[in-house]
Amino acid sequence: MKKILIFTTAYLPFVGGAELAIKEITDRLSSSEFSFDLITLNLDGKQKAEEQMGNVRVIRLSCSKVLFPFRASSRAIVLHREKPYDRIWSVMASYGGFAGLFFKHHFPKVPFILTLQEGDSFAHIYRRVFFIWPLFKMIFTRADHITAISNYLADWARRMGATCPVEVIPNGVSIKNFEYQISNIEKEEIKEKLNIKPEDKVIITTSRLVEKNGVGDLIESMRYLPENVKLIICGSGSLEKSYKLKAISYKLENRTRFIGFVPHSELPQYLHASDIFCRPSLSEGMGSSFVEAMAAGLPVIATRVGGIPDFLKDGETGLFCEVQNPKSIAEKVTLLLSDTALRVKIIANASALVREDYDWDFIAGKMENAFVDKE
């Protein structure tokens, strides 16, 4: 049995793309062939210090993010001496990456796998770590195998000096969960609950309300669209109050619905009650939400940034709008609402792409190879 140690700053019940990827991959790998320990932070102080979740033993530390690399690597060293690990796996080149690097310093023969899931711009990352830049680069140069969720991040790994194999393994989607169509009655019930008329057209975004996701531009784009177009925003974040004020200042409060945080399991119903998915990101490592929307049968509007071009081909699997350009967003929405043939083609192509390349079973199989010694 292969014994794998995972370092990540967040894990369930806190769910983002990285956390979901860990769960989906470990759930699909045989418990008779792999066992996983995961060291993470007790982010809200309310979670158990240790518990078994699926195929993963979760160990939560109560400390700051800054101290996490030191506390996590120290705990891992003790665990490794009790029962050695076959691999260490750091998810994201941040605090978890540093924990892996520090562990690797003590046990250089244990293979170190690094998975890049970063969604922030490289400029933003540099501002956070420039004072320890040489040490940060060592996360890449000391790794034995790097997986990245997009070509954009894989290229970054190489620019950071990685000499080990670098492989693109995207995040996937639970296709059955998202492609399941709700009934027309259920759609009407959701719209009625949100005070949206049956004949209204609905744009949806599922996004953390932070600057990089461009939700402010999406709200502003509503100024250039007809009154019967409504916007559903699923997500919470530091800019929620600011965005609500923006909607009020543009007199869009009656056309914009802030749903707040929505559990991942409940997202499909909101997607199926909508007509278009849009997230005009300023930066994006990959963007699992886009692929989930494609699986749900929604045409997607996005910006040509980061890892998005891996799956979005303009006019084929979605439409590109310009970055920080609300009028451009509105133009693409208008096109999808007026051109039925284009809409149908995009939905069909995107659905086929997701089924072929983004099923979690396929993704887990690729990740399994990183945990196995090559002959």
Residues 6+ apart with CB under 8 A from 32: 1
The pLDDT of 202-216, averaged and rounded, is 96
Amino acid, res. 219:
I
pLDDT of res. 346: 98
Q: Give the pLDDT confidence score for residue 182 in this predicted structure.
A: 77
Find the mean pLDDT for residues 194-214.
Answer: 94
Asked, colleague to colleague, whether 2-172+360-370 and 175-357 share their fold, the answer is: yes
The answer to which of 184-188, 259-263, 351-355 has the lowest mean pLDDT is: 184-188
Mean pLDDT, residues 229-237:
96
Work out the average pLDDT over 306-312.
97
Q: At residue 375, does pLDDT exceed 50?
A: no
Picking from 133-142, 182-191, 340-349, which range would have the lowest pLDDT averaged per residue? 182-191
pTM as predicted: 0.92
Has residue 247 got a pLDDT over 50? yes
pLDDT in tens, 72-110: 999 999 999 999 999 999 999 999 999 999 999 999 999
**CATH of range 175-357; options 3.30.230.80, 3.40.50.300, 3.30.70.100, 3.40.50.2000:** 3.40.50.2000
Report, as an integer, the average pLDDT of 13-33.
90
CA angle 208, 210, 215 (to 5 degrees): 80
Average pLDDT on 186-208 reads 91
Task: Identify the pLDDT of residue 374.
Answer: 60
**Percent above pLDDT 90 for the chain:** 89
- pLDDT of residue 203 exceeding 70: yes
Produce one character per residue of 151-165: b if its CB has 16 or more CB atoms within 10 Å, e if not.
ebbbebbeebebebe
Alpha helices in 144-194 (DSSP H): 151-159, 175-179, 184-193
pLDDT > 90? residue 184:
no
Q: Which two tokens stand for residue 264?
A: 């991942």
| All structural domains of the chain with their residue ranges | 2-172+360-370, 175-357
pLDDT of 58 reads 98
Which string of DSSP letters, residue by residue, matches 34-91? EEEEEEEE-TTS-S-SEEEETTEEEEEE-S-TTTHHHHHHHHHHHHHHHS--SEEEEE
* Residue 16 pLDDT level (bands cut at 50, 70, 90): confident
103, 93, 117: which is closest to 25 by C-alpha?
117
> Which class would CATH give 2-172+360-370?
alpha beta
Mean pLDDT on 261-274: 92
Instruction: Give φ, ψ of 357 to 5 degrees.
Output: -115, -15
Model confidence pLDDT, tens digit, residues 124-183: 999 999 999 999 999 999 999 999 999 999 999 999 999 999 999 999 998 888 987 778
The mean pLDDT of the chain is 95
Choose the weakest-confidence range: 16-25, 214-223, 294-303, 336-345. Answer: 16-25
| Structure tokens belonging to residue 198 | 């049956």
